[in-house]
Structure 1
């Protein structure tokens, strides 16, 4: 394959990490790239760094705009992209030299619309790029199966928009929600739903740098309205498409998030839990969890502790017999 791949990088206040990120993209073994750097009104030297790389490499395209947030910057980059495929990289992260080639190979091999690699959290400037032991072989899923896995054992792999290669028409169909955090949670399920085939590879080729200054490492001390909005937005999307099972899984995810948050933060989400429309489709376990929590958070925690203990015991016995 020699199709053009657009790499979209939103840039804002990441001066210490930006050069590392850009060099990892320029150094890809697959060279037919359009590298789109969107300077989202960064007040530091990020804009100048982007411009310098544009002078060094003709594949680098730089756009300077007023600050609008990560979603707005990504939308801007997608709008100005020309590739058959699009991948997203955050400017404080970096990727392995074979990242693009690997994802393209997966797409071609399985005739898929989306390919995914695994991530590895790091605080280092270099990585060994190991295999994810939980995914010893490549997984081929339908779009709906990917949506189901988004609420299960592949959540960490599937939930982000980075670490993926998408057919551009899928990305352009669903813009990111401007002005919202947790935009990946709100949007990525739509991408999978629009795909016929999704392939997941076990190689960890995306370095998720643990930047202590990033939003994800500086969570607000108040209720995260954006998280609640994103989880509800995802559930409503599946409802609108008459996907009852997927909607149920999405509403379950939201309710369990609210309960965990309230348990950890002195009941700050109790009003959301109490006002939740019980007409929504929920599975039996979540309905029981909500009822127990409403009776007493203490009783809920004790029952959860017993449940987890029994689950671990049964799982250990099963593994012992294998």
Structure 2
């Protein structure tokens, strides 16, 4: 028997990338698939391109919805899927031709409820191989949660799921969360898994050439969303019976990383927004009660991060931004020197 795998692809204004994405899916070595494409109200040529593929390949099923966001599009795809197994692929990414075959083989041989693989990170800096899962046939729920919360392990892609688990527990993407909603879904799914498995291959091709950066002016919605995600995580860790200290450690690290990233963002855009606005934004971040509650526990072994933590704990806002400006200048200089060295060699 060759079970069907449903590949869910949410689409929104991705005419530049969708052809390569679909092409990589329909040319999988494992052929018993359905490609569930949900167009989330695209205004470009995405629909035209998808329909061109659909005319040539009956395995493609296509749905259109008014723009409601990627979570709603994925939920729509889950509801319409008919396969025993589900895979999620973003419309600007591609996959290795053995992607489905190897994930499914691993799921069968290991009898795992969730199988993961590594990925290739494609950016302006080149192509790098990554994996967040340093095990093969078994690991505990707690260790898996720890891996998922590091790096990009909490994304939907690079994983194969069982439809019966999703259906039985009515698992859905949370539409009220607009960032890290995939992390919450993965962890909620993991709570119902008896076992996990991973393969070492880097079979998913993650395209970071199409990313829009966070606005230089901090959105309070973005910060509140991040905090809402952390509160969801606290509930999941409680259900998973994670030790309270471990939960605090993970949440504090996430809050710390967010705060440092946002301070760095202000420094990087200082010429655009000005020092006055940058100081206002950072003060606004540091005054949020949930962040203040975790700030005393900020710590890092990184020489570069330690000054940030010292300055933030003491509410030295302007010096933290100036420090960020110095770091960014140094990074740009190192990058220019590296490019010059590469050009001289060629």
1:270 aligns with 2:286: yes
The answer to whether the 8 A contact 1:15-1:46 is kept is yes
Q: 2:209 aligns with which of 211, 217, 220?
A: 211
1:75 aligns with 2:75: yes
1:52 and 1:296 map into 2 onto residues whose CA distance is: 57
The answer to whether the 8 A contact 1:159-1:184 is kept is yes
1:41 and 1:198 map into 2 onto residues whose CA distance is: 36
Residue 175 of structure 2 corresponds to which residue in structure 1? Answer: 178
| Superposed counterparts of 1:1-322, under 5 Å | 2-122=2-122, 138=136, 140-152=138-150, 155-156=151-152, 158-172=153-167, 173-182=170-179, 183-212=181-210, 214=211, 217-221=212-216, 222-223=218-219, 224-225=222-223, 226-239=225-238, 242-245=241-244, 247-261=247-261, 263-264=263-264, 265=266, 266=279, 267=282, 268-272=284-288, 276-277=292-293, 293-297=312-316
- By how many angstroms is 1:33 displaced? 0.3
The answer to whether the 8 A contact 2:286-2:292 is kept is no
Deviations 1:209-268, CA, capped at 9 Å, x for gaps: 1233x4xx3213314232332233222332355434463344223332344245424524
**SS in structure 2 opposite 1:176?**
coil
Aligned CA-pair RMSD: 3.2
Deviations 1:157-206, CA, capped at 9 Å, x for gaps: x2211111011133343211114322223322222222111112111111
- By how many angstroms is 1:70 displaced? 0.6
Residue 336 of structure 2 corresponds to which residue in structure 1? Answer: none
Structure 1: runs of 5+ lacking an equivalent = 302-322
TM-score normalised by L of structure 2:
0.73
**SS in structure 1 opposite 2:139?**
strand
2:145 and 2:247 map into 1 onto residues whose CA distance is: 10
2:163 and 2:249 map into 1 onto residues whose CA distance is: 27
2:241 and 2:309 map into 1 onto residues whose CA distance is: 25
Instruction: Count the aligned residue pairs.
Output: 287
In structure 2, relative to structure 1, the CA distance for the partners of 1:240 and 1:292 (3 Å cut) is farther
In structure 2, relative to structure 1, the CA distance for the partners of 1:284 and 1:180 (3 Å cut) is closer
In structure 2, relative to structure 1, the CA distance for the partners of 1:199 and 1:58 (3 Å cut) is same
Residue 318 of structure 1 corresponds to which residue in structure 2? Answer: none
1:192 and 1:241 map into 2 onto residues whose CA distance is: 9
TM-score normalised by L of structure 1:
0.77
The answer to whether the 8 A contact 1:138-1:199 is kept is yes
**SS in structure 2 opposite 1:141?**
coil
In structure 2, relative to structure 1, the CA distance for the partners of 1:15 and 1:274 (3 Å cut) is closer
Deviates more, 1:252-261 or 1:98-107: 252-261
The answer to whether the 8 A contact 1:151-1:249 is kept is no
2:132 and 2:165 map into 1 onto residues whose CA distance is: 28
Deviates more, 1:225-234 or 1:23-32: 225-234
The answer to whether the 8 A contact 2:131-2:202 is kept is no
